[in-house]
Amino acid sequence: MSHPAPIIEARGLTKRFGGIVALQDLNLAVAPGLTYGLLGPNGSGKTTLIRILVGLLFPTSGRAWVLGRAMPDRSIASQIGYMTQAEALYQELTVRENLTFFARIYGVAEGCSRVEALLELVDLRERADSPVHTLSGGMKRRASLACALVHHPPLLLLDEPTVGIDPQLRAIFWEHFRSLNQEGVTIIISTHVMDEAERCHRLGLLLGGRLLAEGSAAELKARTGAATVEEAFLRFEGGTP
């Protein structure tokens, strides 16, 4: 039986910033329609990898392909939803104005209804007309996620999207991510929250720019004899899977 071509592929991906090696000889292939989690502590290379995949960084060596195109390639920007760690929002505009602006940029036909639906999803309807700079950090994260979703992209790259979000809303987000998978959307999500790892179809464990291991949460736990993903990560980190 044939397998679908990877929606993301990386071969020998290395990125150096001076004497700092942020990524080291990383190989990766992500099938379409999955949620793939990049799991690791701060400084493990998650953000660097995502920024290469969206075309914001050039690798020092190796290559990456996204949606069949060698990166960086600006022609596929409209097919990617990207949520950064730092909120990419216009601080003086309201939440609704930010969403409307991005909907217009991407030519979203049902702009008004899409904006209202996303305000409901991220639980910001009551603050929709508040300038972004008046929001809490968690609210800004929610607004950023809404902006990344506004144009129905087939690929989402989300860098620590649930930081500062309460557990109930985080669960709602994950339900929405799963519904997007069912529609064929692929999601790459970086996190250092271990309980979120169990929600991903597959995981890449990153440390020091290296891909320590890859597989589903169940596979990684079985390979190490661990009871949790966190315990499995620690065993891979210690070199004793």
Output the tens digit of pLDDT for each of the chain's 241 residues: 557 789 999 999 999 999 999 999 999 999 999 999 999 998 999 999 999 999 999 999 999 999 999 999 989 989 999 998 777 899 999 999 999 999 999 999 887 999 999 999 999 999 999 999 999 988 999 999 999 999 999 999 999 888 878 888 888 889 999 999 999 999 999 988 888 888 999 999 999 999 999 999 999 999 999 999 999 999 998 876 6
Predicted local distance difference test score (pLDDT) of residue 241: 62
Q: Is residue 1 part of a domain?
A: no
Residues of the domain holding 167: 8-237
- Write out the two tokens for 3: 């397998």
Predicted local distance difference test score (pLDDT) of residue 186: 97
Q: Is residue 3 part of a domain?
A: no
CA distance 172 to 191: 17
Predicted local distance difference test score (pLDDT) of residue 140: 92
C-alpha distances in angstroms, 21 versus 17, 126, 236?
6, 44, 20
Q: Is residue 2 part of a domain?
A: no
Q: Is residue 203 part of a domain?
A: yes
Predicted local distance difference test score (pLDDT) of residue 4: 78
The total number of structural domains in the chain stands at: 1
Q: Is residue 134 part of a domain?
A: yes
Q: Is residue 150 part of a domain?
A: yes
Predicted local distance difference test score (pLDDT) of residue 39: 95
Phi and psi, residue 30, nearest 5°: -120, 120
DSSP, residue by residue, 66-81: ETTEESS-GGGGGGEE
The alpha-carbon radius of gyration of the chain (Å, integer) is 18
SS3 176: helix
Predicted local distance difference test score (pLDDT) of residue 201: 96
C-alpha distances in angstroms, 207 versus 25, 93, 120, 142, 228?
13, 38, 36, 27, 18
What CATH number corresponds to the domain at position 161? 3.40.50.300
Predicted local distance difference test score (pLDDT) of residue 237: 87
8-state DSSP, 188: E
